[in-house]
Structure 1
Amino acid sequence: MSRLHGSKDFWLGALRAEGPMFRAAVAEAPLDSPVPSCPDWTVVDLVHHLGAVYVWVRESVGRGVTDPPTVRSDMTGRPGGDEAIVWWQQEYDALLTLLDGLDPEMPAWNWAPQAKKAGFWSRRMAHETAVHRWDAQMAIASVEPVEAKLAADGISEVLDSWLPAGRRRAPKPAYGVVHLVATDADQEWYVRLRGEGMALLDTDTILDSDDHHTRAVAAGTASDLLLCLYSRVDFEVLDISGDTALLDSLLIG
C-alpha cells in the first residue's frame, strides 16, 4: 500500500486529541518524577521542552517566508511547579489557534527536504505531541498506543523527512532494503539504505513480482513501529527477520 497522505484537518484533529492526553498525564505525575523513555528528564523537563517547541514554531511559522529563522526565543525563567502546566496549556492553545488559521500552502521554512509550506508544521506538531504524550504516560505507568493512522503517518514522516534530513541516530554506513509493515494500518514501506543516505521507495510503483532484495523485515502495529523508530521501545516488540542490524539505521531520537 502507499503511504498515508494526511491533511491539515487530520493533523490538527490529532493535535487536539493528543494535547489533553499529555496534560492529563503530566498533571497526574509529580513534576520531579523521572520520564523512563527520556533518560535524565523529569516530567517538568518534558513540559518545558514541549512548550518551548510550541513557542518556537509559533514565532517561526507565521512569518510567511521560507528563510530559516535567525533568532530563537530565550526560554530561561520558565515557570516551575503547577505554573509550568498552566504555561504549557497557554502555549498549546496559542499554537492550535495559529495553525488552525494558517493556509497550509502558505510559505514557511522547515528543516526537511519537503515543500516549504506551513502544512509541514501541522504534521510535525501532531507527531511531536503524540510521542511526548506517550513519554508523559510512561511517567505514570499508564501508556496508550498512538492511534494507528496517526502512527502510520508518523512512520512516513520519519522516512520522508527525518532520515533524508540527516537526523539519523546512528549514522553508520548501511546498505540494503528494509521492509516495514504496519499490521493494523494496512501500510508498508520499503527503505533502501545507501551508505549514509537512504531512499524511500514508492510502493505505488512496486509490483508484487518485483524482487526488492529485502535484507530485513520488521512488522507490528503502527504504534510499536513508530515508537521503535523514535528509540522509545526496542525492535524486539516487533516480528523481525533478516539482517536486523540494518534497523538501527532507521532510528531517530
Structure 2
Amino acid sequence: MRTDEDGGMRAHGTKEFWLDSLRTDAAAFRTVAAEADLTATVPTCPDWTVLDLVQHLGGVYRWIRGFAGRGVTTAPDPASRRHDYPGADATLAWFDDEFKALLELLEAVDPQMPAYNWAPQPKVAGFWHRRMAHETAVHRWDIQMAQGLAEPIEDRLAADGVTEVLDSLLPAGRRTGPTDRYGVVQLVAADEHHHEEWFIRLRGEGIALLDTDTLLDADGPDTRVRAVGPASDLQLALWGRIGFDSLDVSGDESLLSALRVG
C-alpha cells in the first residue's frame, strides 16, 4: 500500500477515476429508481423501501456538499445531517438536483484542499471523491438487487473499496462484526484482469492492515483464514451484502465476520 496524491492509503484511484465511477453508478441507480415501485422493499437494506434508499443516498450527497468544499477540517454541525425529505412524487427530481450539485462540487474541488473526514486519513477533499464513489456503487447494487438484476461492482473500483474498508472504515470504528477475534486474514481478489491481496491482523478490538513484507512465519501461531473471490464479492461481503460463503474460504471462517462494516 502507498500514500496517494488524492489523500489516504489506496490500491487504485484518482479524482477522475472516482468521479467516473460515481457518474456511472449514480446513473445506473437513477435508472432503476425511475422504473421501480418506490414502496418495494430492499432486501439488502433491512426495513428500507426503494424510496428510503433514494432519500438516504440523496441525503448523503446533500450532507457532503454542505462541508466538503469549505476548505477547513473542522467537523460540520451534527444538525446538518438532518434533512426534510420531499414526498414520493418529488423525490426523483430532488435526487437529481442533489446529485448534480454534489458532482459539480467534487469536479471543482482540489483533492488536496483541506476538508473534514471522520477517518484516520489525511483531512483533504480527495477522501470524499473516493467515499462517494463507493457509497454510490454499493447502493447501486442494493437498488438493482431489489429488482433482481444486480451487476457486480467494477473490479478496480471494488478492489479500492476493499482497501477503503480496511484503511478507513475499520480503523474509524465502523466495524459491525465481532471485536473479540484474534488472527490473520488474507483476502485475495482474483478477477480476470486484476489480482490483488490484503493481509489483516485482528487483535480483538484492534486491527492492522499489513504489508506483505511484514508477514513472517515467526510471527506466531495465529489462527488464519484465506478468502478468495472477485473483488466485487469481497467488497460486498465486507459490507454485509452477501455472505462470506460466496467466496472460496480456507481456515477459520469466523475471523472474516470481524471485518464487516455493514
2:230 to 217, 221, 229: 221
1:50 and 2:26 are equivalent in the alignment: no
Percent identical among aligned pairs is 58
In structure 1, distance between residues paired with 2:224 and 2:105: 44
8 Å CA contact 2:175–2:258 kept in 1: the answer is yes
**1:158 alignment partner in structure 2:** 165
8 Å CA contact 2:63–2:81 kept in 1: the answer is no
* TM-fit CA distance, 1:76: 4.6
1:61 and 2:68 are equivalent in the alignment: yes
SS of residue paired to 2:188: strand
In structure 2, distance between residues paired with 1:72 and 1:247: 35
In structure 2, distance between residues paired with 1:91 and 1:182: 34
**2:205 alignment partner in structure 1:** 196
Q: Which amino acid aligns with 2:60?
A: V
Count of matched residue pairs: 250
In structure 1, distance between residues paired with 2:118 and 2:83: 24
In structure 2, distance between residues paired with 1:230 and 1:76: 25
**2:244 alignment partner in structure 1:** 235
**2:179 alignment partner in structure 1:** 172
1:81 to 88, 98, 104: 88
The TM-score, its normalising length taken from structure 1, stands at: 0.94
SS of residue paired to 1:177: strand
Query: Any idea what the Cα deviations from partners look like across 1:47-70, whole Å, max 9, x if unmatched?
Result: 000000000000011111111112
Summarize the Cα distance change of 1:71–1:215 in structure 2 as closer, same or farther, 3 Å threshold. closer
In structure 1, distance between residues paired with 2:257 and 2:239: 11
* TM-fit CA distance, 1:73: 3.0
8 Å CA contact 1:179–1:214 kept in 2: the answer is no
Segment of structure 1 superposing worse, 153-162 or 22-31: 22-31
In structure 1, distance between residues paired with 2:87 and 2:229: 39
**2:43 alignment partner in structure 1:** 36
Cα RMSD (Å) of the superposition?
1.6
